[in-house]
Structure 1
């Protein structure tokens, strides 16, 4: 069969390799160059290697707990059951995970994991090692690679997806196929502060929405707690806190214990909100203190972070460094079954663009690379199999009020959209802010001309996903996981399970 894979992170590369090895003719399309994207930036590692006191069942329990009860147990079961096989596959493809002196995999721990079960490479360069190994594997095959090509549309024939339209420079082209696998990543550039690469503009989600695929849980946006608050966004891995670093306020107090008994190792949404509140209260960023780890450990365990912090004027072995949250990962996306099938026959989705149900309301650290590998392989295996109907979460079309301020919205720019989303659809949300955001985005959508350039297409995609995200956040009136409503009657109110977003006006 002829298979198109759109995206070249761990999910797309894994899907392409498995589809090729199954005998399919594969074309891999990427918006930038191979190696761009979020996978190569990942510092933490891949969860799923279990020590003698750990198990897949305990990993599943931690995943469910982090997901605030909204994770799909079946999807979580698949993730943890197949994790060890995918880690072994990565090793076989040349990923040099770090080892202990006796040759065993060195296991790390991150927030909300009860055990050390995370493998890493080059200390804090896991994603770069994985990306390099998988790209080298692709280059050794007959897989056709198309770089610098933006997905603009899905081609549907008799109700099934049978190809894509691409924009390369000023040229529009079509590629036809028996199956299309979306692996286009998330939408981090909806926000003014993000860890995501510049290409994370929600393209796959937007294209799926326009074509009528079910999309769910876009309100669940994970904000990474610790980004270096100096210079361009640079992530300080959660593994630093897993090794023992602490978060301090102006008085040198470990303030995160005020909101959760696990302190710095509480789930990401809890830590991020605690940091945001403390920074607002004291008028400056909070501090991450890793001095107790010592200069040698910091340099050998976290060489990339050590280099960048020093380049920016910090010696983190001698002084705490300022940190702030930033948009990091989208738990929602295109609805899939356990084999990556979407509600559109012929269309699969894997990685961050997909909503597999694994992450629920809050992703457990180091489950994203694992999810990309596990479900990328499963989607490739399902190509050519009978198409099974995909159960979409119950949906509804919400009619939200229009905010009069939207009639005086500022002129659209990507920066204005990102600041609006940061202010109103960010870490802390309420009805008035969400209504204002949705109304403003609708006004901007109405003012846009038909896109022709890559930037214009990206802006249209961001606006579509922004409206869907704000609408979903309005629908979910209770706080749960990464979605925190300051106007909720109770943060412990019963959550809405598995609601998808239908966008009514754009």
Structure 2
């Protein structure tokens, strides 16, 4: 289909991804746009898997300044303070947006919003819906509102490439044909599917990041991959692991070894808890999450979705401790963007997990991801509105030749071993020896090589990136990379 031009959509902005960030961008469009995704049910998006909820300073005694302070502390010196301030200040308004869109956020007996506490937050500030099904509930209601907007044209297809000669967007190749456009918003999610143990959709393997690199865009801080401390370990499990939300520990659950002893502070930042668990697992111990004695309601009443996953694995969280391990959960790195979501490629915006906005730094604070997706999706949509009204002529409706790539990925175990929680120079070099020769043809290998090369060039221990062979910190710096920076 690469020779077929979708002339009906020529010149329209194209939004790639139908998670929360992409949907919010589409809702902001003041003219016709194309929403491109493999599915429009929430399937395959990380947004719908989010359990805890969305962080926002709306509780008594809380403030955006306090939220910003917690975010900066978790980010280990690499957050952009201006972006952190701007997004945390937008938090209360983001909650109002969810309510306006009909999302039934949980409330207490007095009718006030109920709030979870999660690790490294100084206040209870996580709004949620559907118990522990926040992402699913939020996304379904936002989808319902988006379907009412007749200027959104839904195209069920996959992205196959960008046409951006001389660094300017001219169109996108899709499995349905070529769309000539000068305005594209990428909201395609992360790269957790590259790893053996992940809570992300396995289809999210960072291939769109590789395509942007081929088009000439700059990637930033690709080495920062966050591992959630508590993914459920089930006998014979394959594929995506079931997440046990940080809100469970916030509600009082504790981590224990097989002898019953506690060994770490459960509400420390995610990178700290993940490393503590990884160290115990490396010594041959088993780690359990104990939620049998939560204050107030029992586990099954407070976390019905997690309970369902546990029971499917033959475990009862009300009466049994749950075996857990860390799993790849979120990519802090991604496309380098400015405050409006503009990438270094003219005509390409990015929002959500695929973007590196400066909010998360070296380690994302819990439940800041849905906030970033909502707010930055809106900002990108509004900026495209301004750009599309500047009198720029639509691109010509011609179809250039499209390069072809492969996406098979047999190295999930190696990715876990060498680019997991604990890293060494030797391991990184061994990994890159296998992926770099494939990176010109294979999109997964290219994204993995960016992560590995950045990790090799950051010899320090900062946030989610932990080099065992180079203890300590260097002065804070970002690692910006383009395709030409890799030794391909």
Q: Which whole-Å CA distance do the structure 1 matches of 2:475 and 2:242 have between them?
A: 33
Q: Aligned residue for 1:440? A: 434
Q: Aligned residue for 2:35? A: 28
Q: Aligned residue for 1:463? A: 445
Q: CA deviation at 1:444?
A: 3.4
Q: Which whole-Å CA distance do the structure 2 matches of 1:414 and 1:204 have between them?
A: 14
* Residues 1:497 and 2:473 aligned together: no
Query: TM-score under structure 1 normalisation?
Result: 0.87
Equivalence map 1:268-307=2 (5 Å):
268-281=270-283, 283-293=284-294, 296-307=297-308
Q: Which whole-Å CA distance do the structure 1 matches of 2:188 and 2:182 have between them?
A: 19
Determine if contact 1:162/1:180 at 8 Å carries over to the other structure: no
Q: Aligned residue for 1:425? A: 419
Q: CA deviation at 1:153?
A: 1.1
Q: Aligned residue for 1:113? A: 121
Q: CA deviation at 1:284?
A: 4.2
Aligned residue among 185, 202, 208 for 2:206? 202
Determine if contact 1:244/1:290 at 8 Å carries over to the other structure: yes
* Higher mean C-alpha deviation, range 94-103 or range 25-34: 25-34
Q: Aligned residue for 2:22? A: 12
Instruction: Structure 1: give runs of 5+ residues left out of the alignment.
Output: 257-262, 388-411, 449-459
Q: Which whole-Å CA distance do the structure 2 matches of 1:362 and 1:73 have between them?
A: 14
Q: CA deviation at 1:386?
A: 5.6
1:243-273 CA-to-partner distances (Å, cap 9, x unmatched) read: 01000012211101xxxxxx00011011001
Q: Which whole-Å CA distance do the structure 1 matches of 2:170 and 2:413 have between them?
A: 37
Q: Which whole-Å CA distance do the structure 1 matches of 2:218 and 2:262 have between them?
A: 43
Determine if contact 2:438/2:446 at 8 Å carries over to the other structure: no
Secondary structure at the counterpart of residue 287 of structure 1: strand
Secondary structure at the counterpart of residue 265 of structure 1: coil
Q: Which whole-Å CA distance do the structure 1 matches of 2:332 and 2:475 have between them?
A: 16
Determine if contact 2:42/2:140 at 8 Å carries over to the other structure: yes
Q: CA deviation at 1:413?
A: 9.5
Equivalence map 1:181-192=2 (5 Å):
181-192=185-196
Equivalence map 1:348-497=2 (5 Å):
348-385=349-386, 416-445=410-439, 460-488=442-470, 490-491=471-472, 493-497=473-477
Q: Aligned residue for 1:228? A: 232
Q: Aligned residue for 2:155? A: 146
* Residues 1:266 and 2:274 aligned together: no
1:354-395 CA-to-partner distances (Å, cap 9, x unmatched) read: 0001100000000000000010001111114369xxxxxxxx
The verdict on how the C-alpha distance between 1:319 and 1:372 changes in structure 2, with shifts beyond 3 A counting, is same
Secondary structure at the counterpart of residue 348 of structure 1: strand
- Cα RMSD, aligned residues only: 1.8
Determine if contact 2:288/2:321 at 8 Å carries over to the other structure: yes
Secondary structure at the counterpart of residue 169 of structure 2: strand
Q: Which whole-Å CA distance do the structure 2 matches of 1:45 and 1:273 have between them?
A: 24
Q: Aligned residue for 1:344? A: 345
Aligned residue among 12, 33, 37 for 1:2? 12
* Higher mean C-alpha deviation, range 27-36 or range 182-191: 27-36
The verdict on how the C-alpha distance between 1:277 and 1:414 changes in structure 2, with shifts beyond 3 A counting, is farther
Q: Which whole-Å CA distance do the structure 1 matches of 2:82 and 2:112 have between them?
A: 30
Determine if contact 1:247/1:289 at 8 Å carries over to the other structure: yes
Q: Aligned residue for 1:404? A: none
1:197-248 CA-to-partner distances (Å, cap 9, x unmatched) read: 1220112211111111110111000000000011341000000000010000
Q: CA deviation at 1:33?
A: 3.6
The verdict on how the C-alpha distance between 1:240 and 1:90 changes in structure 2, with shifts beyond 3 A counting, is same
Q: Aligned residue for 2:93? A: 85
Determine if contact 1:18/1:380 at 8 Å carries over to the other structure: yes
Q: Aligned residue for 1:315? A: 316
Secondary structure at the counterpart of residue 98 of structure 1: coil
1:316-373 CA-to-partner distances (Å, cap 9, x unmatched) read: 1112110000000000000000110011111100000000011000000000000000
Determine if contact 1:229/1:285 at 8 Å carries over to the other structure: no
Aligned residue among 154, 158, 171 for 1:163? 171
Q: Aligned residue for 2:215? A: 211
The verdict on how the C-alpha distance between 1:413 and 1:137 changes in structure 2, with shifts beyond 3 A counting, is closer
1:34-75 CA-to-partner distances (Å, cap 9, x unmatched) read: 312111111010000422211100000000000001100011
The verdict on how the C-alpha distance between 1:352 and 1:308 changes in structure 2, with shifts beyond 3 A counting, is same
Determine if contact 1:159/1:344 at 8 Å carries over to the other structure: yes
Secondary structure at the counterpart of residue 71 of structure 1: coil
Query: TM-score under structure 2 normalisation?
Result: 0.90
Determine if contact 2:194/2:202 at 8 Å carries over to the other structure: no
Determine if contact 1:49/1:119 at 8 Å carries over to the other structure: no
Provide the aligned length of Structure 1 versus Structure 2.
Answer: 453
Q: CA deviation at 1:11?
A: 0.4
Secondary structure at the counterpart of residue 291 of structure 1: coil
Instruction: Structure 2: give runs of 5+ residues left out of the alignment.
Output: 1-10, 389-405
Q: Which runs of 4+ in 1 moved over 6 A?
A: none
1:386-420 CA-to-partner distances (Å, cap 9, x unmatched) read: 69xxxxxxxxxxxxxxxxxxxxxxxx995631111
